[in-house]
Every structure is written in C-alpha cells, then in structure tokens.
Amino acid sequence: MARSFFADRASATTLQPTVVILHNLALSVEQLCARSLGAPSVEELRPTACGACGRLARDAEGALGIVGHGLYSRQVRGLVQTTWMVIWVRRYLCRGCGHTMSRLPNWLHPWRWYAATVIIEALFRHLLLSQSARLIGVRFGRPAEALGWRSLRRWRGQLLVAPTLWGWLGPRLGARVAAATREAGRSYLRRLLAEGGEVVASTVQALRELSSTVRATLRDLVHNRKQAWLWRRFPPGASLGSAPTPARSGFPTEKGSGTGPP
C-alpha cells in the first residue's frame, strides 16, 4: 500500500481536498465495518449538507444533492488489543462542488494510523504517569526490544497544533506553538482533557474515562487536509455562494492508509 488512502485512481487529474466528517459511527467493533450486518445504512449516514459548499443533501423537490460514493478501507491500530484491523468507511459525493465526504467515527482522526483514543492514552501514560516509551509501546503492540517510540515525541509536539490532533482547539486553549518540553506537553494534555469534560482526579478513573473524553472533543467536526471546523459551519473563508466548480474527472478509490504509521 504505497499510496495514500485518498489517492485517486485517475491520478492524472488534480483532486479537490476531501472532506472528512467525524461522528459517532459505531458503538462496537462489529459495527465499524460499513459492510457488516447492523452497520448504519447509506441514508442514516448521509450528511445533511456538504461541509465544503453547504449544498443540502436533498433539495425542495427531494432530489439528492449528496449521493453515496462507495466505500474505502482504513487501517487502524489500538482498538482490538495490539493488532491492526481494517474498517470500511462510507463515502459520499457532493454533486454541487465535487467534494467527497467520508463518515469516520469520533474516536479516529483522519490520516492517522492510531486511533485518537490510543494517542491520548499513550500521551497520558507518557506525560502524566511518566511511564517509559518502551512500556507504552509494548501496550500498543510494538516490539518489546524497542527501547524508544518516536511517535510519542511527535504527538506531544503536534497536540493542539496540528489540524489532525485537535489543532482547531489550540488558539482557544492557549496553545499556539508546539510543546517543546514534557512540562509544556503535560499542560496541553490537561487542557484537552478538561475540554472533553474530564478532571483528572485519579489515574484509574482518568484511564477509564479517556475514551468518552476523546469522543466528546471530536464530535460534530469536519476535516480537510489543512483545517478542521465545527459541523454546520463553512470552512474559514468559504461561503454558500462561493462553492468551487466541479473539477473531478475520475472517482477516487481509497484503499490504503500509507506505508507506515505517521
């Protein structure tokens, strides 16, 4: 899988940014696969409006403005013990502007191999519990002989700064630059947990409630490759009257998640 899972099979054309809407897709692992029995239907997951141009899913006559656009596979780590798993994500296409929308669960960031819940637990153990990188890595499936885990430092530096690690909250929570030290990382993490409604009273309680805390921070969001914003709001600088002209000549097939964990 050498290509991004947003790669277009018709690679000769330039793609518009793909919009990813995060929401509570499933309550159990069995429901994660859009092909599974009991998974939400195409109609249930259909966005009410395009997150890019604002076009409604159905017009006044009932004609569809946002249509089903197939499925793509997505690899995720950290949901089932220490193994990788593949989930299938449902995708939609806006007939007005040509953007696609993928319905992800609210425990998963777009363009990340590890679930958001895993990232926060790993940072919690690293920054607040001062556990070793080796011990944390083993918990999430890394080889026992690996002494370090560079992702921990990278996640710490990107927390509340990168668009795919709660960067949209950074300015409001006072996080404008990357956390260069553990102390700064601890401060950022505590602010994020408080945003999700969690006050760290005890280690056991905090670890038990991390999942619901993360879900609360990712609810009702729209992502593209550079920004994130609240659902039902237009992207910064966009308006209903400035929808881009459709430029897609081929439909994307999203099958991989890259060559390795980011």
Per-residue pLDDT of the chain (262 residues; tens, 9 = 90+): 333 333 333 333 344 445 544 444 444 444 455 566 667 788 888 888 887 888 899 999 999 999 999 888 888 876 665 577 788 888 899 999 998 888 887 788 888 888 898 999 999 999 999 999 999 988 888 888 888 899 999 999 999 999 889 998 999 999 999 999 999 999 999 999 998 887 665 666 677 788 888 888 887 777 776 777 766 555 544 544 333 333 333 333 333 333 344 4
Domain limits, the chain: 19-106+219-242, 116-215
The length of the chain is 262
pLDDT of residue 37: 63
pLDDT value, residue 237: 47
Long-range contacts of 100-103 (CB under 8 A, 24+ apart): 100/18, 100/19, 100/69, 100/252, 101/18, 101/19, 101/20, 101/21, 101/47, 101/50, 101/51, 101/66, 102/18, 102/19, 102/20, 102/21, 102/72, 102/254, 103/21, 103/23, 103/25, 103/45, 103/47
Q: What is residue 219's predicted lDDT score, i.e. its pLDDT?
A: 79
What was the pLDDT predicted at 135? Answer: 92
Nearest Cα to Cα of residue 72 among 28, 12, 8? 8
Q: Helix (H, G, I), strand (E, B), or coil: what is residue 207? A: helix
How is residue 95 written in tokens?
Answer: 């007939």
DSSP 70: E
Q: What is the CA radius of gyration of the chain?
A: 19
Residue 251: CA atoms inside 13 Å, Cβ hemisphere, count?
13
Tell me, what's the pLDDT at 80?
Answer: 62
Q: What is the pLDDT of residue 23?
A: 42
Question: What pLDDT was estimated at residue 131?
Answer: 94
- pLDDT the model gives residue 27: 40
